[in-house]
Structure 1
Amino acid sequence: MKKIIMVFVLTMVLAGCTVGSSIEQQLADTMNAMNGAEQDYRDAQAELTSLEQSEQQLFNETMKLTQQQQEELTVQVVGLEESLDKRLEKLEQEEASITKAKASSEDLDTILEKADEQVKSDIEKLQTTIGERYESHAEFIISYKELTSLQRQLYEMLGAEGTQLTELTKQVDEVNVQNETVQLNITRFNDLTEQVNHLKDDVFASLQQGE
């Protein structure tokens, strides 16, 4: 089973931004609100990564046990399932945080209504990319939940007496295939995060030049 490592990056802090115009102030407030709303997401990600790493290690240790070590095997499987449940709790925390941030991003509609044509198109691009970023995260959540479902099935097979190696191998393959989908979603989310940060910087640069 491939180790799952989250590498989400968020750098929306508006350091060094000189807020002058009303539009600039409103945009700064909105971006800061989004950034603040995502704090729980960042905290959850750190804890999720730690859980994934320790769970991977426990899984590797469990795979070395045989059916003759049933009592020890059962204890290990319980540990794996408990870790998986904790990961799902962190995933819910992360999802709630992103949902809150998405709600904050809706203030961009009001900002667009007041923006002049000089920066309106840039703000529209920023808004579109922010929307795509949140859609990407929703796709990640779906794929990650599917991954944990397959992993739970794998853990149950590990703890069941009489499970054949061929059955385990097939389930591990399914887990790894789904993990590839998760990794692709993570990559897309990270790429969109970088795009949002670049577009955000461009918009503030344009606003400051127009002062």
Structure 2
Amino acid sequence: MFTFRKKKTLRVFLVSCILLTFLSGCLGPSPEENIYTTLEKVVTLEEAFNDQQKPLQELEKKESDLYNQIMDLGMKEFDKVISLSKEALTLVEERETKINKEYESMMSSKEEFAKIDEEIEKIKDESLAKQASKLKTTMENRYSTYESLYDAYKSSISLDKELYTMLQKEDLTLDDLESQIKKVNDSYKTVMEYNEIFNQTTEDFNELKLEFYNQAELNVEGSKSQ
């Protein structure tokens, strides 16, 4: 009698476990909710990217002021030109450090974002799946544009270093200086073009993200933007 009851209790316990497992699978997060979680984490991973923006602008402003001072001096006060050029080089190196931190942040974001691929495949609503795919394509374009922007900025930094090193040479010719300045200006023009595309793509992505959240009927009051 005791043995029979013990077996019966065990059987009921096992059935309960199976039911709980089945229910937890059914009641787990939907693909849409998993996408939401991933996208919000992506925003968090990009915080380091955003943190670099103001310091970068400040460094660019300081460097620009030094450059103008150097150009005003010309080679008449060569010792001062050398001093200011060295100071400008230090600022360029600081910018390089920050742009590298920015890049690392974006690549972490990109890696996390890739997780939505398998979730999109699980979405049953065709219209919603299409919206999620559009969102994915836009974000991938954003990452691609950022990488081009990063490469262009790094190239500009290299040209800046060359310029400030050249300015420390007493035998620097006007032709060489003008040629280098043109390279620097052309390089930053490319940076600005990529930056505009990146900002626009970011804007487009944020709009599509909200549209997806609304279409999926997700509660997104605390949602963050890139």
- Shared fold by TM > 0.5? yes
User: Where on the TM-score scale, by shorter chain, does this alignment land: which range?
Assistant: 0.7 to 0.9
Deviations 1:55-100 (A, max 9, x none): 1011101111233422211110110100000000001100000000
8 Å CA contact 2:32, 2:123 repeated in 1: no
Q: Counterpart in 2 of 1:113? A: 121
Count of aligned residue pairs for this structure pair: 190
**Equivalent residue, structure 1, for 2:131:** 122
After superposition, give the CA deviation of every residue in 1:2-27 in whole Å (9 maximum; x if it has no partner).
Answer: xxxxxxxxxxxxxxxxxxx7233212
5+ residue gaps, structure 2: 1-28, 219-226
Verify: 1:134 aligned to 2:143, yes or no: yes
Computing the radius of gyration from Cα coordinates, the structure with the larger value is 2
Map of 2:23 onto structure 1:
none
Cα shift at 1:52: 0.5
1:192 corresponds to 2:201: yes
Structure with the larger RCO, 1 or 2 (CA within 8 Å, 6+ apart): 1
Q: 1:208 aligns with which of 209, 214, 217?
A: 217
Q: What does residue 93 of structure 1 align with?
A: 101
Equivalents in 2 of 1:81, 1:113: separation in Å?
Answer: 50
| Structure 2 counterpart SS, 1:163 | coil
1:62 is matched with 70
**Could you say what secondary structure the match of 1:67 adopts?**
coil
Structure 1-normalised TM-score?
A: 0.85
The residue type equivalent to 2:160 in the other structure is Q
Q: Give, in whole Å, the separation in 1 of the partners of 2:102 and 2:133.
A: 26
Percent identity among equivalent residues?
28
Q: Is it true that 1:166 corresponds to 2:155 in the alignment?
A: no
Matched, 1:35 2:39: no
Runs of 4+ in 1 over 2 A off after TM superposition: 21-25
Query: For residue 182 of structure 1, what is the aligned residue in structure 2?
Result: 191
Name the Cα RMSD after superposition: 1.6
Structure 2 counterpart of 1:76, from 84, 87, 97: 84
**2:70·2:84 contact (CA, 8 Å) conserved in 1?**
yes
Give the unaligned 5+ runs of structure 1.
1-20
Match of 1:16 in 2: none
> What is the TM-score normalised by the length of structure 2?
0.80
